[in-house]
Structure 1
Amino acid sequence: MAVAARLTPEQRRGLGRLPWPLPSAADAVPLGMLSTPDRLLLLTVALAFEDDLYPVLAVDGRGVEEVRASGASPYLVIHAGRVRFADPRMETRVHATASAAEVAHTHARLAAVAVRRRDRVAAAWHRARGGAARDRLSAAALTAGARAAAAEGRTERVLLLAAEAAKHAAGDIGEEARVLAGCAALACGHAADAEEWLGSLVCGAAEHRRGRALGPFLVARTFRYGAVPAVDPQRLAPLRTADGDSWARSAALLAILCAERGDRRAGRRWLADVRDGASRVGGDGVLRDAVESLCGLLAGEVVTGDVPGAGGLLGAVSGALFAACGGDIDEGLRLLQTADLPGVGERDPMIPGFEHSPLGRAYRIVTEVLLLVWRGDIGRARLLLRRAAVELPVAIPFAGLGVVLARRLDLAVLGAFSPIARALTAVLPPAADMDVLVDRAVEAFLNGSFEAAAGAIGLWRDRGEPQARFAVPGVEEVVLVPEAGRASPAVRPPETEFADALRHAVAASGDGAWRTEQETLREAARRLRSPFARGRVETLLGVRSGLHGDPIEARSHLAQAEILFEAAGASAWGRAVRRRLQRLETDPHVTGGAHLPVCRSAWAQRLTSRELEVAMLAVEGTGNRAIAERLSVSIRTVEVHLGRVFAKLHVRNRVELTVLAHRTEQYL
């Protein structure tokens, strides 16, 4: 916490690169117990450009065995010609105890070793880091090294070198360094840094660098603030044909970002620029066709025929989504896993060189997690996302889909939000639209509060039932009266659509039709391959069976649901079903409508407020005359209300109404 307090808000949110070295904590362990040579050895390891052991030994003057016998040895791991700190926090402590003169002197000695080894980049790095003045010669070497690293797809190396070069250079080299640093920062998810480096180039740089900086600058602002800037692409596009290829790639990414956020009007403008750029540079249309198809999928359009192929990350992510939405989730997962193998796959037509960048890997991981959720592997999906969240910007892809998944997966497994999910929520930009009401409904439902869940879902329905772009687990179990024509997520596989329709059919089945529809619904549930999706349907079948007076069938369905949830890794859903089963073992012995809050919440979805009051009073045993006096209406009005209640709840008299009330309290 002491270190975090010294970071900027952008750095704490992951929008800015962490400083190197990190600010020291107040409780830093002193190194006075070490001898001066051992302390300087640790400083050399901390300042070294790479983890190569040779430069460290050359500066220190001792051999490997002597270093291993020294007082610094417990703090180091030396293996296979590499050296690193056993505890990464020691690097910060070493910096905190070193003087500026010691740091400068160590950098100078490391630079001399790099010169002898003819390592121009390492020599320039140490001269730039150790010098007090701007070093334009080192900046030129660092910029050249950053360009070479970009060609190799080493995004973090590009950012390291270009960011240092930008501090020392001016003119053309300075502009080139800022372009490289800004694009690399963007690929690492550091949108604030990218915006700062690229923003200075948008107005004052040479035209060809402006063309390279403008698109990434707009992407950086989108990531930082949550909305694609409202600009006219035609007025911004470079006029030179030589810049058309770079601009077309940026326009393609911005078109996808618009599609992720449901902004179809702006997306069409950016797609038009992609087409225009492809025609001006004489491309083969691979990028154009792939982006148009992906944007169509994100918009919910039905894509027929062969899906246009593309290499790299764009091809893997779009291919996986198309395969899953076509019914083959396993094929989608295979495409993602194959694309992540080093040296496998074609160069990406949209982000060449950045296929394996942190942002690119985050897109791949979030897509894989989504497909695992659709397949019903809840526990595995959560574990994968938690591991990735530690080192990748998983809150950025698909307009915050990673955050939505982190929250829903935590609820499915824990029944509450973990610190990681809360931290990811905190980094979302202001314009991000989080479905907090559905999250609250899921949390309340899984923790046994049907009335609180129904209340949250009621507020969500009052807002027009806003839907996420991708199908993620909600809590349709508390929606007892499904509405016809309800909007659905744009991107979902056929099985998710089938399971959703099946849950609605179970919820809408009345008492008269239940006896004939029950077996058909049970058989349809067996067709679901996802254990999580089937578990939710089995839960609803169990609840409905109980409400219709068949406790044996209810226990059977709920027992199956518990097994299925455990197989999916959805422990919180399993616990919720187990609580229902335990309630069935004991008669609640509830008397009086005033003590039936779950029943009141459930019936409120079917009855008007006046009908609900009449029904609850009737369940308490209050006669029609007494109800009329309490509500200040006529006896005839009470009889009319009761008749409507009986019809809506599929009961014939007060006795059946009272039985249904207690069953509802027991099963929901």
Structure 2
Amino acid sequence: MTAALAAVEAGWGGHVWVGEPGSGKSLLLERTLDDIHQTGGCLVARLLVSDGPRALPLFTQRLHSLAGTSPRDGFPLGSTIVAVVDDFDSLEAETTAEVLALASTRAAGFVLLGTARTGSAVQPAPHPLVVSAVHPLDARETLHLLHDEEGLAVAPHVAALLAEKLAGNVGGILEMAAVLEPEQLTGATALPDPLPATPATTAVYGTALDALTPVERMTLLIAAVSVSRRTETLLAASGLELGELIGSAVADHVRFVAGFFEIADPRVRSLVHARASLAERTNAHERLAAASEPGFAEWHASLAALAGLPGIATPLIALARDALTRGDSAWAYDVAREASSQATGDDRLHAELTAGIAALQSGFVLDAVHWLGRVLRSDEAIAVRALGPYTIAVALAHGHVPDTDIEAWVAREPAALGVIGAAAAAAGLHAERGNVDAATRWLDTARTLAQADGTGADLVGLAGAWCSVFGIGEAPTETSSTPWLHGYLSVCAGLQLVREDDCDAAARVLATASLGLSRTGSDVAATPLLDAHLRVAGALASVGNGDFALAASAIEDAAFLAPVSLVFAGLGAATARRLAVLITGDVTTLAASLARIQPGAGSAAVRREALVDQAFAASFGGHSTEAAAFLSMACEQPARGIQLVLPAPDEVRTWLDADQRPRAEAAARRERGTSARLRASLALDPNAHRDDHWGRVIDEVRSVGNAWQRALTEHELGTAMTRAGDVAAGRPHLLLATEILFRSGAAALTAHARESSAGATTAPPEDWGATLTDREREVAALVVLGTSNRDVAIRLHLSVRTVEVHLARVFGKLDVHSRTELSYLVHGRGSLGSTT
């Protein structure tokens, strides 16, 4: 739509969307017209295909009627004329030629907006007329459409689900987003299953489904509502033989592979379900109840019942719990909800408890609060079992830990395992949010209750490990025998290794845990919530290893698969944002969408990280004072535990760059770590590097595994040496810092580091290029400063290809193989290998 609006603003050219019926091209056209009507200043009229040869004259009459002018005056002057043509390729050939001619006449103020099935009717198109195919969107494009263009708060994994379920259809995605609740778009509540049918889906498949026979229509409905994917189940329920099924029109919409079937396009399932009457759906479920294996049979029997079925709730609850154990929490949630609608008494509470836990593990946190809250409000003994998951659900849904509710239960039933679990959960949740006193208090409470009752040691151990990850207390050494805790304990073990700078080991621990949880036959499989924790922890291990590009890719993949925004009180979202700023210099759509769906204002820890992001952005833009102000506000709440892995600017250096030495000295007095104290001393006194004591410290710092800390320290050391007059000695340190950042994939950060180091690297030794021509020396000198080939071409008024040729000759004459090796050679360091 942006290109279309640009054409209207320019007053000539236009935009034609091309695609099959139902692709969404007409919807994009209408939405563009809505934007044009809101801004005003244009005369908008439709050129109707149905008018035939008189389409253009009748369009002109409509236009003059709108403008209040006479046809004898020609087209109205002083306004942009927007001609709207749906099905442009159905126009008469002569009319088509005249309209295209008008669209290409810049002085006429004429803009064409239209749709067509193919682009051939508008080819060869005048240069300003944009023809764009409306292609199926992938998950990233869907997120861009909904978040950036439609302004909706949408979770990336929900955008991915919509792209999958709607086959990337632009019209269907936009129509679906309009009917879904905001909480469904953010992932806080479950999407309907199947998704409701939309006009775009009807436009694509309506005619084909209308042509089905009654038997084919029922068979396709059975396929659509069946939870079993066995072909034998479909055959038994439909009453067809395999040959009859494959030879029918049903086979146009269903794939058969190795004894299983699958509806080829999820939109068919939605449309078939929406078009079926209640009686037809009931009939389909009755047939499947008779044909399905145990468990699935009860599910279909329950859905076929128009009244309650005594005893059906118990097997459904068992089915839901089994699905939850296998990691299929969304299916478990569906089954548990159905069980609750059929159950009475204790069975109903058990079903609601299972539904709440399944919703929580799926990321449907508002649904979880609803179901678990219902259980908690009962007077039965089972109520306390909902307290722990309810505590987590409230914190994830609303951003605060329900301390008051837990305190009431501690006073009421201190010996209950559910109370111990809730106290342990509260400790971990407060630790994530940086609430040290509350986390410590609840951890002590959980330990006291567990010791008094003799139960809950596994839950307390997990809470202790979780708190230690965030810098509160020591990590416990004992392991747990409770299977469902193993995944979360692996998360803690991995993050502890990251904190200890053993990121390779951390990656192995997390990968092994993920593999074990995904292996067929394992005791417990990863639910979406656990998967999100494992994936974000893996990304943090990559950050600690200095591979920011890999970490960003991991976070992006995780966000489109699982509820990443819920992880570690928003640390997953903060990580995505930090990496986006360091790599691109700005906040990406993915990072912005994750931040937008955070509950409330986000935790204090996440707000701190947002200030750090602003400090980086201000620094990249050359606004040193702003950068220092943002960083100062961020440092009012120091980072703790795993939060320290996220790169942050050096506070002392930031204040010095802002010409605020007193504040830099105050910041230096607060530094505790060896690397930070070394950098502070070097920043405040460039001659400090000559001190024997700091010489030994420098050697120690170089053994630190954290790539970011190493880069900061090397950069500060090079800066200090340069400012102390040891320019030649300082250059290698500056280049090594830049090389570390370059290898991390953080393009924006690398560019900033190169720019800040430029003063120390602009005067290379005179003998480095004795064998080069003047032009080759010019190219090499710019490349050494980190200038891209394209920018070198612009600076020297050359083509990019010519620059590449000159650079290849430079590499050959100087016997180097990369830009980095060239930099080291120019600055008197020989090859890259001699620096490590």
Query: 2:397: which partner in 1?
Result: 224
The code of the aligned residue for 2:591 comes to A
Q: 2:470 aligns with which of 285, 298, 302?
A: 298
Give the secondary structure class of the aligned counterpart of 2:273: helix
> Are 1:437 and 2:608 an aligned pair?
no
Residue correspondences, number: 562
C-alpha deviations, 1:416-438, integer Å up to 9, x for none?
22222111111111142323221
> Are 1:377 and 2:547 an aligned pair?
yes
Query: 1:606: which partner in 2?
Result: none
**2:463 & 2:707 partners in 1: Cα distance?**
33
The code of the aligned residue for 2:191 comes to L
- Larger mean CA deviation between 321-330 and 102-111 belongs to 321-330
- Tell whether the 8 Å contact from 2:298 to 2:312 is kept in structure 1 after alignment: yes
**Comparing both chains, which one has the higher relative contact order based on Cα–Cα distances under 8 Å and sequence gaps of 6 or more?**
1
> Are 1:473 and 2:647 an aligned pair?
yes
Query: 1:30: which partner in 2?
Result: 205
Query: 1:335: which partner in 2?
Result: 509
C-alpha deviations, 1:586-631, integer Å up to 9, x for none?
89xxxxxxxxxxxxxxxxxxxxxxxxxxxxxxxxxxxxxxxxxxxx
Q: 1:572 aligns with which of 741, 748, 753?
A: 748
- Deviation, 1:62, is 4.1
**1:461 & 1:191 partners in 2: Cα distance?**
34
- Deviation, 1:401, is 0.9
**2:194 & 2:285 partners in 1: Cα distance?**
14
Q: 2:295 aligns with which of 98, 101, 121?
A: 121
**1:449 & 1:255 partners in 2: Cα distance?**
40
- Tell whether the 8 Å contact from 1:227 to 1:431 is kept in structure 2 after alignment: no
Q: 2:532 aligns with which of 362, 367, 374?
A: 362
- Deviation, 1:108, is 2.2
Query: 2:703: which partner in 1?
Result: 527
Q: 1:486 aligns with which of 658, 670, 680?
A: 670
Q: 1:2 aligns with which of 132, 155, 175?
A: 175
Query: 1:266: which partner in 2?
Result: 438
Cα RMSD for the two superposed structures: 3.5
**1:362 & 1:50 partners in 2: Cα distance?**
28
Give the secondary structure class of the aligned counterpart of 2:261: strand
Unaligned runs of 5+ in 2: 1-173, 657-663, 764-836
- Deviation, 1:74, is 5.0
- Tell whether the 8 Å contact from 2:490 to 2:509 is kept in structure 1 after alignment: yes
Pair 521,543 (structure 1): closer, same or farther in 2 beyond 3 Å? farther
- Tell whether the 8 Å contact from 1:13 to 1:426 is kept in structure 2 after alignment: no
- Deviation, 1:514, is 5.3
C-alpha deviations, 1:321-380, integer Å up to 9, x for none?
3333344333333222222233699x99xxxx8762221222222222222211212122
- Deviation, 1:389, is 1.2
C-alpha deviations, 1:90-119, integer Å up to 9, x for none?
4334434444443332222222212xxxx3
- Deviation, 1:192, is 0.5
- Larger mean CA deviation between 41-50 and 543-552 belongs to 543-552
**2:220 & 2:267 partners in 1: Cα distance?**
12
Query: 1:413: which partner in 2?
Result: 583
**1:31 & 1:536 partners in 2: Cα distance?**
62
Query: 1:244: which partner in 2?
Result: 416
Pair 238,580 (structure 1): closer, same or farther in 2 beyond 3 Å? closer
The code of the aligned residue for 2:330 comes to E
**1:531 & 1:288 partners in 2: Cα distance?**
34
**1:378 & 1:557 partners in 2: Cα distance?**
21
C-alpha deviations, 1:376-408, integer Å up to 9, x for none?
121222212211111212222221110111111
Pair 287,81 (structure 1): closer, same or farther in 2 beyond 3 Å? same
Query: 2:256: which partner in 1?
Result: 78
- Larger mean CA deviation between 314-323 and 105-114 belongs to 314-323
Q: 1:54 aligns with which of 228, 232, 237?
A: 232
- Deviation, 1:86, is 3.5
Give the secondary structure class of the aligned counterpart of 1:396: helix
Pair 553,102 (structure 1): closer, same or farther in 2 beyond 3 Å? farther
Unaligned runs of 5+ in 1: 489-496, 588-668
Give the secondary structure class of the aligned counterpart of 2:670: coil
**1:93 & 1:457 partners in 2: Cα distance?**
57
C-alpha deviations, 1:224-243, integer Å up to 9, x for none?
111111316453148669x7
Q: 1:159 aligns with which of 322, 333, 347?
A: 333
Give the secondary structure class of the aligned counterpart of 1:340: helix
Identity within the alignment, % = 30
> Are 1:209 and 2:363 an aligned pair?
no
Query: 2:628: which partner in 1?
Result: 457
**1:530 & 1:275 partners in 2: Cα distance?**
34
- Tell whether the 8 Å contact from 1:410 to 1:417 is kept in structure 2 after alignment: yes
Query: 1:181: which partner in 2?
Result: 355
**1:169 & 1:126 partners in 2: Cα distance?**
16
**1:73 & 1:499 partners in 2: Cα distance?**
66
- Larger mean CA deviation between 101-110 and 83-92 belongs to 83-92
- Larger mean CA deviation between 287-296 and 181-190 belongs to 287-296
C-alpha deviations, 1:440-487, integer Å up to 9, x for none?
222333xx4121x54043144156532333111122253433613437
The code of the aligned residue for 1:128 comes to S
Give the secondary structure class of the aligned counterpart of 1:18: coil
- Tell whether the 8 Å contact from 2:429 to 2:569 is kept in structure 1 after alignment: yes
**1:227 & 1:86 partners in 2: Cα distance?**
43
- Larger mean CA deviation between 58-67 and 27-36 belongs to 58-67
Query: 1:18: which partner in 2?
Result: 191
Pair 293,197 (structure 1): closer, same or farther in 2 beyond 3 Å? closer
TM-score norm. by structure 1 comes to: 0.75
- Tell whether the 8 Å contact from 1:450 to 1:478 is kept in structure 2 after alignment: no
- Deviation, 1:585, is 8.1
Pair 486,83 (structure 1): closer, same or farther in 2 beyond 3 Å? farther
- Deviation, 1:498, is 4.8
- Tell whether the 8 Å contact from 1:324 to 1:332 is kept in structure 2 after alignment: yes
Query: 2:558: which partner in 1?
Result: 388
**2:251 & 2:479 partners in 1: Cα distance?**
53
- Deviation, 1:152, is 5.5
**2:398 & 2:221 partners in 1: Cα distance?**
39
Q: 1:257 aligns with which of 418, 429, 432?
A: 429
Q: What pairs up with 1:576-591 in 2 under 5 angstroms?
A: 576-579=752-755
The code of the aligned residue for 1:313 comes to G
Pair 100,584 (structure 1): closer, same or farther in 2 beyond 3 Å? farther
Give the secondary structure class of the aligned counterpart of 2:636: coil
> Are 1:423 and 2:578 an aligned pair?
no
Q: 1:144 aligns with which of 318, 328, 348?
A: 318
The code of the aligned residue for 1:317 comes to V
**1:77 & 1:583 partners in 2: Cα distance?**
65
The code of the aligned residue for 2:588 comes to S
- Larger mean CA deviation between 465-474 and 289-298 belongs to 289-298
Q: 2:574 aligns with which of 393, 404, 408?
A: 404
- Tell whether the 8 Å contact from 1:163 to 1:177 is kept in structure 2 after alignment: yes
- Tell whether the 8 Å contact from 2:681 to 2:688 is kept in structure 1 after alignment: no
**2:251 & 2:757 partners in 1: Cα distance?**
59
- Tell whether the 8 Å contact from 2:682 to 2:688 is kept in structure 1 after alignment: no
Pair 456,577 (structure 1): closer, same or farther in 2 beyond 3 Å? closer
Give the secondary structure class of the aligned counterpart of 2:256: strand
**2:457 & 2:528 partners in 1: Cα distance?**
27
TM-score norm. by structure 2 comes to: 0.61
